Amino acid sequence: MKKNWMEPGLIVFALLSIGLQYFQVEMAERLLVLSCSALALYYLLSGTLVLFNKQVTRSMRMLYFFGLWIISVGLVGVIYTFRFWPNGGNLLMLGFSFGTAVMMILLLYRVMIKKNDRSIRRQLSPLYARLLVYPVIFLILQLTPFDLLFHSFNKYRDHEEYREILKQTIDNPVDTLLQKKLIRIEKRLENDR
């Protein structure tokens, strides 16, 4: 059986870009967006392709489709969280809650069908693994305090005024005055570098 190395490669690329952002390497923010977007797109397309695969039962196709798509939504939430864009927490909670729901449906499906059928177990094991890991990551990121994420991953982590305005902007994303003030501070800080 031919091994697909695209998914592990994209995961390693995403983890490397998170590490680079922690160490404030130049272009790390763009690499983070690119790597997590590529991984989200991979899961989005994989879910769509499984939906059209006639070798798998209809119910399993739907489980894969929804499971991989919700992982994709959660990965977009990871991008939003690490870039400190508004509504990242909402996307992470969608990824966690629906990922957990699909996992529960998978467990019920396994109990309702033949418990010891190896072919079903083999077909579902990749989705089990993904739905055990990703929702936990989404929940951990959702529960991580803003200040810890900010002081670990933001390139302006030493600037307190920026942190306060950014926190207010994330809490109130429709306030255009805060957004303009944040942009002014970012431009000033970028010019000072």
Convert the pLDDT of each residue in 82-96 to its tens digit. Answer: 999 988 999 999 999
pLDDT at 116: 60
According to the model, what pLDDT value does residue 160 have?
92
Phi-psi region of 179 (alpha: psi -120 to 50; beta: other; left: phi over 0): alpha
Give tens-digit pLDDT for 15-29.
999 999 999 998 999
Q: For residue 53, give the DSSP letter.
A: -
Q: What are 19's two structure tokens?
A: 């590490």
pLDDT at 114: 60
Higher pLDDT, 89 or 58: 89
Which of 63-67, 68-72, 104-108, 125-129 reaches the highest mean pLDDT? Answer: 68-72
Task: Say what the pTM is.
Answer: 0.89
pLDDT of amino acid 109: 77
- C-alpha angle 134/123/8, rounded to 5°? 45
d(CA 28, CA 89): 21
The answer, yes or no, to whether residue 164 has pLDDT greater than 70, is yes
pLDDT(1) > 50: no
Q: Which residues contact 131 (CB under 8 A, 6 or more apart)?
A: 67, 71, 99, 100, 102, 103, 106
Residue 39 and residue 70 in contact, taking contact as beta carbons nearer than 8 Å: no
* Domain residue ranges of the chain, discontinuous segments joined by +: 6-155, 156-193
